[in-house]
Amino acid sequence: MLNLAPYAAPNATDWKAPAGSSGATDFHRSLPGYGQSALVEVPTLAARLGVAHLYVKDESSRLGLPAFKILGASWAIARAVGERAGLDPSELTLPALIAQIDESGVKAFIAATDGNHGRAVARMAKLLGRPAFIFIPDGVTQAAQDAIKSEGATVIHVPGSYDGAVESANAQALAQPGALLIQDTSWEGYQDIPAWIVEGYQTLCVEIDEQLGRAPTVVVVPVGVGSLAEGVTRYYRGDSSYAPALLSVEPEVAACLLESLHAGVLTSVETYTSIMAGLNCGTPSASAWPILQHGITGAVAVSEEDAALAVHELNALGVDSGPCGGATLAGTRNALADPELRAALGIDSSSTVVLINTEGFSANPLPEESA
Ligand SMILES: Cc1ncc(COP(=O)(O)O)c(C=O)c1O
């Protein structure tokens, strides 16, 4: 029986993550089309939640794609190709990678995805002139598949869950000479690329600090395998001068981090279909788990209905948000309704809440029946 009760760890803000800044943000700044994603204040939502300030970090338009994922995929591909071509990490730019791709020996990129990560890998592959093979589980919408194909990638459907698609992608990468697996989750023996992906995600936190210029009370992050949350936690328990509370949000049907936090050990859960496709993962990333176990202040799960309602609410307020972004609003409400978690997060009427809206509506539209 899954434990979907809210989880609270009031002392998590005292924990320090292992040091580690990277050159990811400088690399991102060098990419054509780079600009900080908007940090939008939404006073109406702040009033509805009973806090002083509510900001949405809006990843609905990031380097030309409707989700944050390219921050991780681009830096991991840069590091992996650069390493194989003998480039120093400080020299990594898109033109340098294009010039050295033959030298690197990388002939193709492979990834498993529930949508956004695969499209980001496919976009980078296209920029580098290499084919991409993207493995998808059940439940990835036709629109998401078409978006991946629009980047020139081949989409391979693996019947079953996300975890199964990851296994198939890995098997293909091992069998295909010159193919490089760019996966946003880690397991024993596969750690470098996921670690670079996590570094890449931290650019959005660097931007939040620059844009806000002060400490948020709480940052709310949606969780699939937890790599984004790992990046956010490493940053706010490491490089940042601020130490906000951190709240993770997952679908009730795929709450693998919540279950792991309650159990005190990395735990897999069975998954079902979810409108929050990007969060529909049954196993936390191995590298994310110890960081999240120590650094996350609170964790909640949200229902499909509440996530859909939150998407409507955000879009009605002018925030372009898909279900993974909507989950953060629904999750904040669940957290506020739980006295113990609310206290652990330190939320009161003077607080500043930042929601990480990880995708725009077009990245993952609601199915007809819940739209
Ligand atoms: C839009 C969106 N938000 C959040 C996530 C969760 O990221 P992670 O799997 O690193 O927890 C994903 C993952 O695919 C996603 O696509």
The model's confidence at residue 241, banded by pLDDT at 50, 70 and 90, is: very high
16-30, 149-163, 165-179, 327-341: range with lowest mean pLDDT: 16-30
Q: Check: CATH 3.40.50.1100 for 70-189? A: yes
CA 321 to ligand 1 center in whole angstroms: 13
Q: Give the pocket of ligand 1 (CB within 6 Å).
A: 67, 69, 114-117, 184, 222-229, 278-279, 281, 324, 358-359
pLDDT for position 368: 59
Q: pLDDT for 53-87, tens place per residue?
A: 999 999 999 999 999 999 999 999 999 999 999 99
C-alpha dihedral (164, 167, 169, 174), degrees to nearest 10: -160
Distance, first Cα to last Cα, the chain: 31
pLDDT for position 71: 98
44-48, 69-73, 137-141: range with lowest mean pLDDT: 137-141
Q: Give the number of the atom of ligand 1 that is nearest the alpha carbon of residue 72.
A: 10
CA 224 to ligand 1 center in whole angstroms: 5
DSSP class per residue in 257-272: HHHHHHHTS-------
Distance between CA atoms of 85 and 80, rounded to whole angstroms? Answer: 9
Task: List the alpha helices (DSSP H) in the chain.
Answer: 24-30, 43-49, 70-85, 94-104, 116-127, 142-149, 162-175, 192-201, 203-212, 227-236, 256-263, 288-295, 304-316, 323-336, 339-345
In this structure, what DSSP letter does residue 41 have?
E
C-alpha dihedral (15, 72, 57, 257), degrees to nearest 10: -50
Q: Give the number of the atom of ligand 1 that is nearest the alpha carbon of residue 227.
A: 10
C-beta atoms surrounding 158 within 10 Å: 18
pLDDT for position 109: 98
Average pLDDT, the chain: 95
Q: Give the number of the atom of ligand 1 that is nearest the alpha carbon of residue 322.
A: 1
Instruction: Give me the mean pLDDT over the 137-149 stretch.
Output: 93
Question: Probe ligand 1: pick from 227, 279, 356, max atoms within 8 Å of CB?
Answer: 279
CA 100 to ligand 1 center in whole angstroms: 30
Question: Probe ligand 1: pick from 61, 113, 116, max atoms within 8 Å of CB?
Answer: 116
Instruction: Give me the mean pLDDT over the 330-337 stretch.
Output: 98
- Asked whether 137 and 117 are in contact (CB, 8 A), the reply is no
pTM of the prediction? 0.96
Domains 7-68+198-370 and 70-189 are alike in CATH topology: yes
* Residue owning the nearest CA to atom 14 of ligand 1: 278
* Residue owning the nearest CA to atom 15 of ligand 1: 278
Q: Check: CATH 2.40.50.140 for 7-68+198-370? A: no
In 3D space, the residue among 58, 49, 53, 51 whose CA is nearest the CA of residue 41 turns out to be 53
- Residue ranges of the domains in the chain? 7-68+198-370, 70-189
Question: Probe ligand 1: pick from 61, 65, 69, 280, max atoms within 8 Å of CB?
Answer: 69
Q: pLDDT for 247-259, tens place per residue?
A: 999 999 999 999 9
CA 103 to ligand 1 center in whole angstroms: 32
pLDDT at residue 304 is higher than 90: yes
Catalytic residues: 69, 114
Which residues, other chains included, contact 257 with Cβ-Cβ below 8 Å and sequence gap of 6+? 223, 226, 229, 248, 250, 284, 292, 296, 299
Instruction: Give me the mean pLDDT over the 107-120 stretch.
Output: 95
Distance between CA atoms of 48 and 170, rounded to whole angstroms? Answer: 45
CA 22 to ligand 1 center in whole angstroms: 21
- Among all chains, which residue has been given the structure tokens 């036709």? 142
pLDDT at residue 369 is higher than 60: no
Q: Give the number of the atom of ligand 1 that is nearest the alpha carbon of residue 281.
A: 9
The model's confidence at residue 129, banded by pLDDT at 50, 70 and 90, is: very high
CA 86 to ligand 1 center in whole angstroms: 31
